Amino acid sequence: MDPPEDVDQIMGEVEQAIGLLENMVPAAIWPWLIVSLGALLALLVHALLWRPIRRFCAGREGLVFVVLPRLRRPSRLFLLMLVSLLLVNVAGLPPGWRSGLSQLAAATLMIVVGWVLIAALDVACERVLGRLPGDIEENFAARKQATQARMIQRIGRLLIVLLTAGLVLSSFDSVRQFGVSLFASAGAAGLVLGFAARPVLANLIAGIQIALTQPIRIDDVVIVEGEWGWIEEIASTYVVVRVWDWRRLVVPLSYFIEQPFQNWTRESGSIIGAVTWHLDFTAPVSEIRAKLEQIVAASPRWDRNVVNLQVTDSDRQTITIRALMSARTSPIAWDLRCEVREAMLDWLRTEHPGSLPRSRGQLHMAPDAEIDAGFGQPVLRRAGGG
């Protein structure tokens, strides 16, 4: 059966429009126009298809359904390069352009694969961290897993980026030949570059050691370079320590492998705090000990483990009394020490003011001193009269 006349008319008009467009567009620009239109069409198709894909993955728990929504940009880049590569052969571009675009498409494919691997790694680490308890302050196993997951994530991302960059550069003949000739003719320069990259490699290896041996973990309380703070972030080459006054101390990863430091929460968060007073010799030590136990027992910050008071030293004027009390974490121990110090000083000022430090002196009257009868004060006269 012959097609209707209106269909024949439409097809004729389309052919006329294409012919008119071919006459208007120069022959040298026509292949590039085909490639450009195909690329725009690919972007439009990707945008139309991505919405139902995102709705399909929403609310699902599988790893694929979590990774897939993150592949919007790499999939768009892959589709764009795939359509462009197909249209290059159809449009009849010069052989040089076809060869260059083919190499570019291969490099783009490597970039997309690396992109997908990074997205999968991020999702896997986030799923591991999502299964950990929300409050991991006292959960050392959870802190260990969180530190390992974050270190593996950062080191893995760095290795994927370096490997992908190396493969992309090696896919171009000019870059590969330049690199081979450079290393063949400049061995000394290679040694210099290797020596310059030593800090980066040392920190990278230190990151792997920290992930395996766990000398520090996220939220550990540490003293580094005389600063007291928490481990806030462990990056691929450095560690961020949040100091108690909200400053940030950035330390290379290799520091925690090569230098000594204090970790107050290596095995447990519990810690013993100390408060010291310098008191007079007449201070009632037994009453102070009883008052300390009363103050500490009434405080919700005490963990019910350690409370003690001892005279640790004495000098010509005072004695040194040290009180020990334990708490669940070092910040709580700090608050408990301040609370005990304030309460004890208030009690001493009220009940035993004579126990506070004081200076003693002794007045000796000279043998030839005279007493003023009116005021009862000694009147000193120099020997020999006058």
Q: For the segment 120-144, what is each residue's pLDDT rounded down to a tens digit?
A: 888 888 877 777 765 545 566 677 7
Q: Compute CA 91 distance to the chain's CA centroid, rounded to the nearest angstrom.
A: 51
Closest CA to 329 of 378, 281, 273, 271: 271
**Coil/strand/helix, residue 261:** coil
**Coil/strand/helix, residue 225:** coil
Q: What percent of the chain clears pLDDT 90, i.e. is strictly above it?
A: 24
How far apart, in Å, do the first and last CA atoms of the chain sit? 155
92 dihedral zone (left: phi>0; alpha: psi -120 to 50; beta): left
* pLDDT at res. 371: 52
Asked if 175 and 165 touch (Cβ cutoff 8 Å), the reply is no
DSSP tag of 277:
E
Mean pLDDT of the chain: 77
pTM comes to 0.53
Q: In Å, what is the CA distance from 249 to each residue of 121, 263, 334? A: 28, 15, 21
* pLDDT at res. 236: 76
Asked if 344 and 277 touch (Cβ cutoff 8 Å), the reply is yes
* pLDDT at res. 194: 53
Residues of the chain with CATH 3.30.70.100: 271-355
* pLDDT at res. 90: 61
Q: Which residues pair with 276 in a beta bridge?
A: 322
Question: In this predicted structure, which of 145-159, 163-177, 238-252, 344-358 has the lowest mean pLDDT?
Answer: 163-177
**Coil/strand/helix, residue 254:** coil
* pLDDT at res. 108: 80
Please tell me which residue, 110 or 197, carries the higher pLDDT value.
110
Domain range 271-355, its CATH number among 3.40.50.150, 3.40.50.1820, 3.30.70.100, 1.10.3720.10: 3.30.70.100
Q: Using CA atoms in the order 89, 91, 92, 93, what is the torsion angle rounded to 10 degrees?
A: -90
**Coil/strand/helix, residue 167:** helix
Please tell me which residue, 33 or 215, carries the higher pLDDT value.
215
Band the pLDDT of 185: cuts 50, 70, 90.
very low
Q: Using CA atoms in the order 27, 31, 33, 34, what is the torsion angle rounded to 10 degrees?
A: 130
Asked if 30 and 91 touch (Cβ cutoff 8 Å), the reply is yes
- Alpha helices (H) along the chain: 5-24, 30-57, 63-67, 72-91, 95-130, 140-170, 173-185, 187-196, 198-213, 255-258, 285-298, 330-351
Please tell me which residue, 31 or 311, carries the higher pLDDT value.
311
The single residue listed with the structure tokens 């269909």 is 7
Closest CA to 99 of 176, 173, 178, 179: 173
Please tell me which residue, 88 or 297, carries the higher pLDDT value.
297
Tell me the per-residue pLDDT of 53-104, one tens digit each, with 9 for 90 and over: 777 777 776 666 777 777 778 888 777 777 777 776 666 666 666 677 777 7
pLDDT of 385 > 70? The answer is: no
The enclosing H or E element of 232 equals strand 227-234
